Amino acid sequence: MDLINAIILDFKTNLWVYLSMPIIASLIGYITKIVAIKMMFQPLEFIGIKPPYLGWQGIIPRRAEKMSSMACDIMTTRLISTRDIFSRLDSGRIAKEIEKPMLDVTQKITHEVMEHYQPGLWESLPWGIRELLIKRIQNETPHIVKDIMDQVKDNLDEIFDLKHMVVSNLVRDKALLNRIFYESGHKEFKFIQNSGIYFGFTIGIVQMLTWLFASHCGVPVIEAHKSLIMPFFGLFTGWFTDWLALKMIFNPKHPKTYFGIFKWHGLFLKRRKEVAADYGSLIAQEILTPSTIMNAVLTGPLSDNLFFMIQHHVKKAIDEQSGLLKPLVVLTVGSTTYQEMKKVVAQRMMDFLPKTLKHMEKYAEDAMDIRNTLSTKMAEMTEEEFESLLRPAFQQDEWILIAVGAVLGFLVGEFQVFFMLH
């Protein structure tokens, strides 16, 4: 009875000190979560002394290539493939969309090449013949475009490397890589942040009762080590709240009732429809856009294959449309120069393609419909597959985040001891 009275008296006398314990524990939980989340994404580049023993780079930016590769593997193996992207594009419609700019380009290139290689011959030709030659080549241009697109669709693996495009773009743009993970799980990150308050407060109450008991129990061992209670509770608060919050995001994979009253479903899995819509929209707007896809086709590691394809079609078209003028041109400039002229025409066509293809981007965006495709496919994923969209962001060096929370909690606990004993 005397022990209880002593504890009650001590509690009343130091009311604000004891009440501060769960509040400070809440702050420990909250602050350690904010720091942990920040450390996942920031800074984008390493800050400190290299080799990186003294410094930090956000976990996701630091492992940008691996993270990008994992995200791309999920995207291309389960959600969308190169064939899905291109199969919806109609070659004839593309030729029609870019017909006008291609006609202008054809005229420009023809004048340019002929004036460079044989200005005297070109200028000496009657205006009507020059226009007829250009007109014949222009008439053939839509057919060339259609044939090239059909051949591209039939030989996608030789022309376009989707994984290379996604990974290289995300490694180069680490801020965009951060957005993919953060925007997909922004509500889960908010939960982690706020969970520190509730979990920390609960642990703080236990901490308060433990300190009260330790102050009056009279056990020498406890009395001697009483100053360790605060820092070790702080360490436990920082570690346990990080660990528990991460578990609650992904587990259980199906709704489950605990103790007969508490029902829980992993937050990320519970938000499947919402996440699918957000993820599909972000990927469609920032990564798998007609612009980035066309740029990857034209400048990626397989672009030489496209150039040879275009070169073949252009040379064939020039030979066919030169008609009666071909022997005259070959006789005048020589066979070698004639072949070189055809190669230059193909190269100039490649040079103009990025600007020309912009005229088909609106059609391509509507036809590919990547946003809805991704959202629909994501809704069909299993819980394990869906979890893998965000889980890699936590799995990489997850122990560091939990350890940081524990260390910060320990340091705050030491501050509490200094405050209470002085």
Which amino acid, residue 128? G
9-23, 92-106, 318-332: which has the minimum mean pLDDT? 318-332
Per-residue pLDDT reduced to its tens digit, 332-354: 556 676 677 777 777 777 787 78
Q: Are 44 and 64 in contact (CB under 8 A)?
A: no
- Quickly list DSSP for 155-208: THHHH--HHHHHHHHHHH-HHHHHHHHHHHTHHHHHHHHHHHHHHHHHHHHHHH
Measured CA to CA, the distance from residue 415 to residue 227 in angstroms comes to 11
In Å, what is the CA distance from 211 to each residue of 29, 217, 222?
19, 10, 10
Residue among 314, 347, 305, 311 nearest 141 (CA):
314
- Res. 55: pLDDT tops 70: yes
Q: How far is CA 143 from the centre of its chain?
A: 37
Please spell the DSSP secondary structure of 24-72, one letter per residue.
HHHHHHHHHHHHHHHHHH--SS-EEETTTTEEE--HHHHTHHHHHHHHH
Q: What is the pLDDT of residues 73-92, one digit of tens each?
A: 777 777 788 887 888 888 88
The residue type at 110:
T
Higher pLDDT, 225 or 172: 172
**What integer pLDDT is reported at residue 14 of this predicted model?**
74
Q: What is the CB neighbour count within 10 angstroms for residue 37?
A: 16
Neighbour-count burial for 403-416, b at 16+ CB within 10 Å, e otherwise: ebbbebbbebbbeb
**Inter-residue contact 64 to 392 (CB < 8 Å):** no
Mean pLDDT of the region 274-294: 83
Average pLDDT, integer, range 40-69? 80
Residues of the chain with pLDDT > 90, as a percent, come to: 0
- Render pLDDT for 309-325 as a digit per residue (tens, 0 to 9): 777 777 777 666 655 55
Please give the pLDDT value at position 273. Answer: 79
* Average pLDDT for 290-319: 77
Q: What is the largest CA-CA distance in the chain?
A: 120
Q: What is the pLDDT of residue 420?
A: 60
- Tell me the pLDDT band of 117, cut-offs 50, 70 and 90: low
Q: At what angle do helices 290-299 and 303-322 cross, to 10 degrees?
A: 80
411/392 Cα distance (integer angstroms): 29
419 or 106, which is more confident? 106
pLDDT band with cut points at 50, 70 and 90 for residue 104 = confident
Residue 201 confidence (pLDDT)? 83
Which 3 state secondary structure label does DSSP give 380?
A: coil
Does residue 329 carry a pLDDT above 80?
no
pLDDT at 56: 81
User: What pLDDT score does 126 carry?
Assistant: 64
Query: Does residue 223 have a pLDDT over 60?
Result: no
| Nearest residue to 286 via CA among 90, 97, 75 | 75
- Which pLDDT score is estimated for 221? 43
Task: Scan for tokens 């436990």, then name that residue.
Answer: 236
pLDDT(121) > 70: no
**Beta-ladder partners of 4:** none
pLDDT of residue 198: 82
Higher pLDDT, residue 345 or 115: 345
Give the range among 76-90, 158-172, 270-284, 330-344 with minimum mean pLDDT.
Answer: 330-344
Alpha-carbon gap, residue 341 to 353, rounded angstroms: 18
Alpha-carbon dihedral 30, 34, 37, 42, rounded to 10 degrees = -170
When mean pLDDT is compared across 95-99, 124-128, 301-305, 356-360, the lowest value belongs to: 124-128
pLDDT > 70: percent of the chain: 80
Residue 118: pLDDT over 80: no
> What per-residue confidence (pLDDT) applies to 224?
46
Query: What's the average model confidence in pLDDT over 140-168?
Result: 80
Q: How far apart are CA 420 and CA 346, in angstroms?
A: 81
Query: What was the pLDDT predicted at 322?
Result: 59
Residue 161 has pLDDT above 60, yes or no: yes
Over the chain, what is the mean pLDDT? 76
Q: Look up the pTM and report it.
A: 0.72
Domain ranges of the chain: 2-67+180-275+383-421, 79-161+290-379
Rounded mean pLDDT, 127-156: 74
Q: What is the pLDDT of residue 274?
A: 81
